[in-house]
Structure 1
Amino acid sequence: MRHVLTILVLSTLGVVTLHAQQAHNAARNEKASNSYAVLRNYEDSLSLLYNKVYQQNDVSALSTDFVETVLPYQSFRLFSPLTFYGGIAKGIFDLPSNAPDNQLQTQGTNYLGPKFTDTALLGVYLKRPELVLNRETELQTIAPEAKTTPVVIKSNAGLAEKATQVPVDPESGPIKVVITKPNFWTFKGDYYLQFLQNYVSGNWYKGGESNYSMVGAVTIQLNYNNKQKVKFDNKLELKLGFITTPSDSLHSLKSSEDLIRYTSKLGLQASKRWYYTLQLVAYTQFLRGYKNNSSMVSSDFMSPFNSNLSLGMDYNVDWFKGKLKGSIHLAPIAYNFRYVNRLALSPRYGLDANKHTLHDLGSEFTVDLMWKIAEPISWQTRLYGYTTYRRAEVEWENTFTFQFNKFISSKLFIYPRFDDGSARDSKHGYLQLREFISVGFSYTM
Structure 2
Amino acid sequence: MRNIFLLFLFICITGSGWAQLLYPEVMEPRTPLNGPVVNKLTGLSFPPFLYKVRQENRTIENPGVRYAIQNLKKERYPEPQVNEAINTLIRYAEDERLKHVVEYLKRYAQTMGKKEQALETLEQKITYDSIEFYKNTEYLLTGDFEEYINTDLQTFVNYIHQDSNYIWLRDASRDSVLLEIMSVADNSVRFWVNNGRMQYHRFWASNKICDTIGTWIQVMPQGNRLKIYVDEDVSQPPAIEKKHAETNEAGISNRFDDEYFKLNPMQVGQLHRRYWTYYSEVELAMSQGKLANWTSGGENSLSLLSNIRYFWNYNRNNTSWENWVHYRFGFMKNGDEDIRKNEDRFELNSKLGQRAFKHWYYTAQFNVITQLFNSYEYPQDQDKKLVANFMSPGDFTLSLGLDFKPNDRFSLFISPIAGKWNFVRDTAKIDVGRYGVEQGKRARREAGARIDLRSTQNNIFKIMNIRNELTWFMSYEKKDHYLNFESDNEEKKKIPFTVNWKLNIDFNINYFMRASIYTETIYNENNSKKLQFKENLNLGVNFRF
User: Match for 2:534: what amino acid?
Assistant: R
The whole-number CA distance in structure 1 between the counterparts of 2:342 and 2:449 is: 31
How far is the alpha carbon of 1:374 from its aligned partner? 2.6
**1:255·1:289 contact (CA, 8 Å) conserved in 2?**
yes
Q: Please show how residues 58-137 of structure 1 align to structure 2 within 5 Å.
A: none
**1:196·1:437 contact (CA, 8 Å) conserved in 2?**
no
Q: Find the structure with the greater CA-based Rg.
A: 1
2:280 to 173, 176, 189: 189
**1:317·1:328 contact (CA, 8 Å) conserved in 2?**
no
The whole-number CA distance in structure 1 between the counterparts of 2:389 and 2:287 is: 23
The whole-number CA distance in structure 1 between the counterparts of 2:532 and 2:332 is: 19
**2:303·2:331 contact (CA, 8 Å) conserved in 1?**
yes
Is the partner of 1:364 in helix, strand or coil?
strand
Q: Tell me the equivalent position of 1:287.
A: 373
| Alignment deviations for residues 238-271 of structure 1 (CA, whole Å, 9 cap, x no partner) | 111001145xx8x611111111111111000012
Tell me, yes or no, if structure 1 residue 432 matches structure 2 residue 432: no
**2:307·2:329 contact (CA, 8 Å) conserved in 1?**
yes
2:524 to 416, 419, 438: 419
**2:446·2:476 contact (CA, 8 Å) conserved in 1?**
no
| Alignment deviations for residues 135-194 of structure 1 (CA, whole Å, 9 cap, x no partner) | xxxxxxxxxxxxxxxxxxxxxxxxxxxxxxxxxxxx998653333432111122111000
Q: Tell me the equivalent position of 2:465.
A: 378
**1:386·1:392 contact (CA, 8 Å) conserved in 2?**
yes
| Alignment deviations for residues 296-329 of structure 1 (CA, whole Å, 9 cap, x no partner) | 11111111111101000111144xxx8xx12111
Higher relative contact order (CA 8 A, sep 6+): 1
Q: Tell me the equivalent position of 1:443.
A: 543
In the TM superposition, structure 1's runs of 4+ consecutive aligned residues that sit over 4 Å from their partners are 171-175
Tell me, yes or no, if structure 1 residue 300 matches structure 2 residue 389: yes
Tell me, yes or no, if structure 1 residue 310 matches structure 2 residue 399: yes
1:404 to 498, 509, 523: 509
How far is the alpha carbon of 1:393 from its aligned partner? 1.8
The whole-number CA distance in structure 1 between the counterparts of 2:463 and 2:540 is: 15
Q: Tell me the equivalent position of 1:6.
A: none
Q: Tell me the equivalent position of 1:216.
A: 306
The whole-number CA distance in structure 2 between the counterparts of 1:173 and 1:376 is: 53
The whole-number CA distance in structure 2 between the counterparts of 1:357 and 1:388 is: 16
How far is the alpha carbon of 1:195 from its aligned partner? 2.5
Q: Tell me the equivalent position of 2:413.
A: 329
- Range moving further from structure 2, 177-186 or 397-406: 177-186
1:365 to 451, 455, 458: 451
Is the partner of 1:267 in helix, strand or coil?
strand
**2:378·2:385 contact (CA, 8 Å) conserved in 1?**
no
2:425 to 334, 338, 341: 341
**1:282·1:306 contact (CA, 8 Å) conserved in 2?**
yes
Call closer, same or farther: CA 1:392–1:215 in 2, change over 3 Å: same
**1:310·1:331 contact (CA, 8 Å) conserved in 2?**
yes
TM-score (norm 2): 0.43
1:238 to 294, 302, 327: 327
Call closer, same or farther: CA 1:374–1:271 in 2, change over 3 Å: farther
The whole-number CA distance in structure 1 between the counterparts of 2:306 and 2:463 is: 21
User: Match for 2:514: what amino acid?
Assistant: S
**1:328·1:367 contact (CA, 8 Å) conserved in 2?**
yes
How far is the alpha carbon of 1:337 from its aligned partner? 1.5
**1:303·1:345 contact (CA, 8 Å) conserved in 2?**
no
Q: Tell me the equivalent position of 2:254.
A: none
**2:470·2:500 contact (CA, 8 Å) conserved in 1?**
yes
Tell me, yes or no, if structure 1 residue 278 matches structure 2 residue 364: yes
How far is the alpha carbon of 1:365 from its aligned partner? 0.9
Is the partner of 1:348 in helix, strand or coil?
helix
- Range moving further from structure 2, 306-315 or 351-360: 351-360
Tell me, yes or no, if structure 1 residue 394 matches structure 2 residue 484: no
User: Match for 1:305: what amino acid?
Assistant: G
The whole-number CA distance in structure 2 between the counterparts of 1:238 and 1:328 is: 23
Q: Tell me the equivalent position of 1:268.
A: 354
Is the partner of 2:434 in helix, strand or coil?
helix
How far is the alpha carbon of 1:196 from its aligned partner? 5.5
The whole-number CA distance in structure 2 between the counterparts of 1:232 and 1:414 is: 28
How far is the alpha carbon of 1:357 from its aligned partner? 1.2
How far is the alpha carbon of 1:295 from its aligned partner? 2.3
| Alignment deviations for residues 101-134 of structure 1 (CA, whole Å, 9 cap, x no partner) | xxxxxxxxxxxxxxxxxxxxxxxxxxxxxxxxxx
Is the partner of 1:264 in helix, strand or coil?
strand
**1:363·1:387 contact (CA, 8 Å) conserved in 2?**
yes
The whole-number CA distance in structure 1 between the counterparts of 2:461 and 2:324 is: 25
The whole-number CA distance in structure 2 between the counterparts of 1:370 and 1:176 is: 44
The whole-number CA distance in structure 2 between the counterparts of 1:221 and 1:213 is: 27
User: Match for 1:218: what amino acid?
Assistant: I
The whole-number CA distance in structure 2 between the counterparts of 1:317 and 1:288 is: 41
Is the partner of 1:347 in helix, strand or coil?
helix
The whole-number CA distance in structure 1 between the counterparts of 2:314 and 2:341 is: 35
Q: Tell me the equivalent position of 1:225.
A: 315
The whole-number CA distance in structure 1 between the counterparts of 2:470 and 2:398 is: 16
| Alignment deviations for residues 59-99 of structure 1 (CA, whole Å, 9 cap, x no partner) | xxxxxxxxxxxxxxxxxxxxxxxxxxxxxxxxxxxxxxxxx
Question: Please, what is the CA RMSD of the aligned residues?
Answer: 2.3
| Alignment deviations for residues 6-36 of structure 1 (CA, whole Å, 9 cap, x no partner) | xxxxxxxxxxxxxxxxxxxxxxxxxxxxxxx
Is the partner of 1:405 in helix, strand or coil?
coil
Q: Tell me the equivalent position of 2:345.
A: 259
How far is the alpha carbon of 1:212 from its aligned partner? 6.2
User: Match for 1:363: what amino acid?
Assistant: A
| Alignment deviations for residues 398-424 of structure 1 (CA, whole Å, 9 cap, x no partner) | 0110010111010111111100122x4
